[in-house]
Amino acid sequence: MATQRLIWRDEYLIGVEELDWEHQDLFDRLNELHEFLAESDDPEAIENCLGEIHARVASHFALEEQYMRANKFAYYAIHKEEHDDFLEVIVELAQSILHDPDPERRDNLEFQLQAWVINHIITSDKDLATVG
């Protein structure tokens, strides 16, 4: 099964402007990864690209967590745990790609990142609109 670019939809908006902007930026970064994986199987280059995504995601999570703390969000701990787990998943995926960058693994990596981001936005992040 071939991977596909992500398409932003208004239903992903959570109603917090700066976080919505960053979510759209995250879609752009994942689409860059999509283009990149389509043309390169150089494991180190892929790992670098994932490193940039990791940094971008980490800074997004930091902003979101700051927003939650500022608004005394009741589910802060569980939400932060989801963030921390995902950052670890990105590191593990980057390591496994470095060992074996075959096409199936590259597709699987992309699916996992896309699915997590969309699922997290439409469930956990949506709840953030209820505070503030």
Quote helix, strand, coil % in the chain, to nearest 5: 80, 0, 20
| Region binding Fe ion by CB under 5 A among candidate stretches 66-74, 96-104, 109-117, 124-132 | 124-132
Q: How far is the CB of 61 from Fe ion (least distance, A)?
A: 6
Site string for Fe ion, 48-87 (x = CB under 5 A): ----------------x-----------------------
Q: Which residue is nearest to Fe ion (CB)?
A: 125
Task: Quote the Cα angle for 123-59-9, to 5°.
Answer: 40
- As given in the structure block, the two tokens for residue 67 are 């927003």
Q: How far is the CB of 100 from Fe ion (least distance, A)?
A: 30
Q: Is residue 125 a contact residue for Fe ion (CB under 5 A)?
A: yes
Query: SS3 for 8-34, per residue?
Result: CCHHHCCCCHHHHHHHHHHHHHHHHHH
- As given in the structure block, the two tokens for residue 62 are 């930091």
Q: How far is the CB of 26 from Fe ion (least distance, A)?
A: 8
> Which one, of 112, 118, 85, 82, lies nearest residue 97 by Cα?
112
Q: How far is the CB of 98 from Fe ion (least distance, A)?
A: 27
> Considering beta carbons, is residue 61 or 101 the nearer one to Fe ion?
61
Question: By the 8 A CB rule, do 82 and 60 touch?
Answer: no
> Considering beta carbons, is residue 38 or 129 the nearer one to Fe ion?
129
Q: Is residue 20 a contact residue for Fe ion (CB under 5 A)?
A: no
Residue 118 amino acid letter: I
Binding region for Fe ion (CB under 5 A): 64, 125
